[in-house]
Amino acid sequence: MFEISPVSCEFDDAIQHKIDNKTKPLGALGELEVLAKQLARVLGKDKPEIVNPKLLVFAADHGIAASGVSIAPSDVTTQMVMNFIKGGAAINVFCRQVGLELEVIDCGILQPLEGVKGVVDQRLGAGTGAIHKQPAMTLGAVKQGFEMARERIAYHHQQGTNLIALGEMGIGNTSSAAAIMATVMKMKAADCVGRGTGIDAATLKRKQMLVEQALHLHESELTDPMNILACLGGFEIVQMTGAMLAAAERKMLVVVDGFIATAAAMVAVQINENVRDYMIFGHQSDERGHCLMMSHLQARPLLKLGMRLGEGTGAALALPMIQAAAGFYNEMASFSDAGIEI
């Protein structure tokens, strides 16, 4: 399905030697050194550079939202997409601040934005099925979503982009992500379902119950990652999963955002474990369960800011850290360059 080469460790000694001989004590740049080593492995040991980075926000609606699992109705998905287009959301502010180009993709919001400029149309439908009553989508829709994502990544790769950051928008999508988490990690729904947009205790209980109902309903079908997406996923989660796999196939870096994007990452790793080598985790969300997802993927998030907004905000804020890791690796003097003897 996706032919992803594992990242080579052939030059690890040379990469580590270069890092260790910068004008600093050993390990003094902490996690930036770990990140620099990953960048050098993926982009080349001589001079790894971030070129033309893009942030893709995948938007879609979820049938489960009609059962009251969020503080907001599904209409807000469309309204927020319009906010993205007008440049007024948090992700727009952060992208402008760090110089990151933003692209908004309609994967299947309820109401098509016909004639609206600035939205890429990759619709798989008008919202998914309610996962506690029926499958979210067909296997055919999952495969179609993967192909759409692959084509979009190919487009950006042709523009010279070597880093893709991923975010999402979709009322109800923390329910879908929690169901995926519970399935992949073999956990109870109650341990995976969080407050999402900030729901009260009664709504949280209903959300946990509906996710548990979904897991029960589809239990016999949750046998492989494609079926997990078909039964429990969202149109945006499917396309994020496909985008991660397609980017890794083209040896591009993938910056994963929060809880929902990490659910997509978990499925992507199940489809092809080599994709993990290309992933950078922008931040650890404050959403319940995200830290457990990180442990499952052996991920080290760059930031921990108590955020739970989605949209790709954590991925965007991580970009300067990624650029700093490349910068010190490429530009910082070695002891011999600086004429320093230790």
Task: Report d(CA 229, CA 264) in Å as an integer.
Answer: 9
3-state secondary structure of 110: coil
CA distance 293 to 250: 25
C-beta of residue 257 within 8 angstroms of C-beta of residue 170 = no
Neighbours of 51 (CB within 10 A): 11
Given phi > 0 = left and psi -120 to 50 = alpha, else beta, which region is 186? left
Is 311 among the catalytic positions?
yes
- Other Cβ atoms less than 10 A from the Cβ of 224: the count is 11
Q: Which residues sit opposite 102 in a β-bridge?
A: 55
Cα distances from 34 to residues 27, 30, 67, 117, 294, in angstroms, run 9, 7, 44, 40, 16
The string of DSSP letters for 181-246 reads: HHHHHT--GGGT---TTT--HHHHHHHHHHHHHHHHHTGGG-SSHHHHHHHH--HHHHHHHHHHHH
Sign of CA dihedral 118, 110, 315, 51: negative
Give me the catalytic one of 212, 236, 249, 311: 311
Strand partners of residue 218 = none
Active site residues: 311
